[in-house]
Structures are given as C-alpha cells and as structure tokens.
Structure 1
Amino acid sequence: MRIGILGRGGMADALGEQWKRAGHDVLAGSRSRGDVRAAAGHGTDAVLLAVPYAAVVEVVAGLADVLRGRVLIDCTNPVGPDFGLLTASGPAAAERIASAAPTARVVKAFNLCHESVWRLTPPVFAGRPLAVPLCGDDEDALTVVRRLVRDLGCEPLHAGGLDRSGLLEATAALLIRLWVGEGADAQAIAPPLEFAAG
C-alpha cells in the first residue's frame, strides 16, 4: 500500500516507520518543505493527517483537489490549554476536516495514544494487543484503516460513524488530562468487560 503522510512530527514519524516496517511505501511531506501535495497526491491508498490541530482545516482545504476520493486518516486532537476540548461547542475536528475536503473519505483513528506507543513493535500490554477505535462512514475506507491498524499489531474497533468522532476526541482530552495533568492511571477507570454491562 502507498501511504502519504501530511506532517513531519512525532506521530507522523512513529506511524510512518511502523508502516514502512510492515512493507508499505510511505511518503511524508510538510508545508515548510513544499512537498505536502506530493504526499497527498495521486497513487496514494491512504493519507495520514498528522499536523497540529490549529492547522488542519487550512491544510486540508488547500489540498481538497488532490484528496478527492482518498482515505484521509485523522489522528489529530483538538486539545487546548488546561486539556480542554477546543471543539466542545461545535463539530468535531474530524467533521471539520471532512467539510474542508468533502470528497475525501475521512476516518478518525490513532488519536488516543502518545507517539511513543506507536513506536512499540507491537504495542502489546499485559499480553493484550492495543485496541484502536475507528470512526468513519465509508466502509471501504474503514477496511483500509483496519488493515493499517493490524499491520501495527493492534486490533481495530468500530466506534461508529464520523458523527461519533467527537467522542474519541473528548476521550483523548480526558485521558491526556488524567495521564499528564494528574499523573493518574487512566486505565483504572474502566472495569473488565464482564462488569461493564452490569
């Protein structure tokens, strides 16, 4: 598979290296280098959007023509000062991205973990592979992203349509606050499955 990556930060590097290791052809681009259109361009099976949230709508809107029909994976988190959710009063980040590039097939994924987790080969904890929730409306796009999740040694979880992506973003804001702001073991908030439904 040919994967374009928009951005050259930690998430772009971590996921890109793992997908290269899995045998994919990965091309990363950034606005500062002027090669972002090539990374998003023709021949890519999927494009990872890994730029700071403040820039995502502008970047995507400027590439809407080359993103036509592309699987666009949004791993961004709209988290601001004091770990607040910047999109709390409006559409989710993934929905804003979909509006900026209406012909792209947007899937929200990979936003719940720090880049260091994606550098693990594979990310398995206490013998259990990491689960990666996905939100999207296009089944073919979800199939592509499920494969990329499995190529990391993780398990994809269907979390609903793109209208549910705000829940993933809010979950990320909560987890970041607990982990970083409080130094808490955020995993401790979820009981084992047999106790989850009462």
Structure 2
Amino acid sequence: MVWGEYDKNALDRSRQSLARVHPNIAVEVVELPSGSTLLDKARMMELSPFEETLFLDADTVVLDELHYGFQQMRRFGLACSICECPWARRYGGLSGDIVEYNTGVLFFSKAAKPVFNAWEACATEIDSSIIFHNGEELAQMPVNDQAGFAKAIDDVGYTPFVLPYNWNFRPKWHKSWFGPLKIWHDYSEVPESLLTHNAEQARPDSIVRLSVLRD
C-alpha cells in the first residue's frame, strides 16, 4: 500500500527480501490515489485480494522464514506485535491503558473482519494526533493510523496473537533481543554483521543468545 511520493527503492528492497525467503508468496502492491494518508491503511483488508494476508510497510526487510506468523494468524485471525510505544493514550482521542500495536507488520485473515470494519469506521473520526518531544521542544504529528487500530481491537474485544518484536524490529528503539530477527522495520540498511549473526541464530541447532545493536 503506497501513495504520494513514496520511496521506490525501499519498496523494492522489501519485495526482494520477501522473495528471497518466501519465493512462492504472491505480492500485491496497492497504489492509493494522491491525497491519501496513513489513515487509509485502515482499508487494507478491503483492498487485499487474498483470503490470508501479510501486510508489510514499505520500509520492512524480511530476514527469516515467517511460517509461524501465518500459523498463528490461522488460529487467531490476526497476529501482530505491540508497538515500541505500547501506550495508545499518547493519541489525543484515546485514554487509559489501551495497548498500541504496530501496523507495519500484520498477519490477518477474514476472521478478523470485525476489527478491520471497526478500524475503518473510527480511523477518521477520532483524534489520532500525537504530541511528542523533539529535542527540547514539543512537536505534533497530525494523524496516525495506529490510534484507530488500537481502538478497534479494544472496542471489538478481539484477542490477536502477539508476536515478539523480533517480528517487527524497530532499530531506533529496540537495542537488544534474543535469537533471530524475523523482520527489520526501518529505512536504514540492515548491517552486514547483523545479517551474518542472524543467519547463525536462525539455525535450528543454534544456542539462543542475547544480541545488542550498537549505534
């Protein structure tokens, strides 16, 4: 799902990474009309031509096989990771302890349709702006899709399968992890040393170890 002046190199990188690991998975890139925003991600189930979908943001890199994610999607209808910031109350229209999930990596089937219907219904209705610290000053992001997704899951009372952040690794915030990473989620390049280390950790006979990302 892309719109506007998106990064074609990043999209190609993501598609190639998936093809290396899962060459038989069909890929559909939906190009939205100009003027689309993050809020249009709420339409991803409606726009997907598949009964079972893995949605990936364009800045993702698949590093290892994803069978387990699909297995849990078939059991639960929806598999995803909690956002690096788990507090959905950072959005203007939400409060309390509602959990925020990262929508850049979502495994879903038609069984999760109630969540996606609720997401699409509320995406443009709630205040999804974020006030955040930018150095010593405050800044504001006007809209974000993850507010509506968090609200939809909470309103519907849906229980997704929660994958560890190895499946949606955000290197700006995640600095340590155990075992192999499945999906790198950032526009920066994956360090060669990490790729080598990840291949070793992905072996079934490897000893799971703590890894630390150095800046």
TM-score by length of 2: 0.31
Q: Whose helix proportion is higher, 1 or 2?
A: 1
Please identify the structure whose Cα radius of gyration is greater: 2
- The structure in which a higher percent of residues are strand is 2
TM-score by length of 1: 0.33
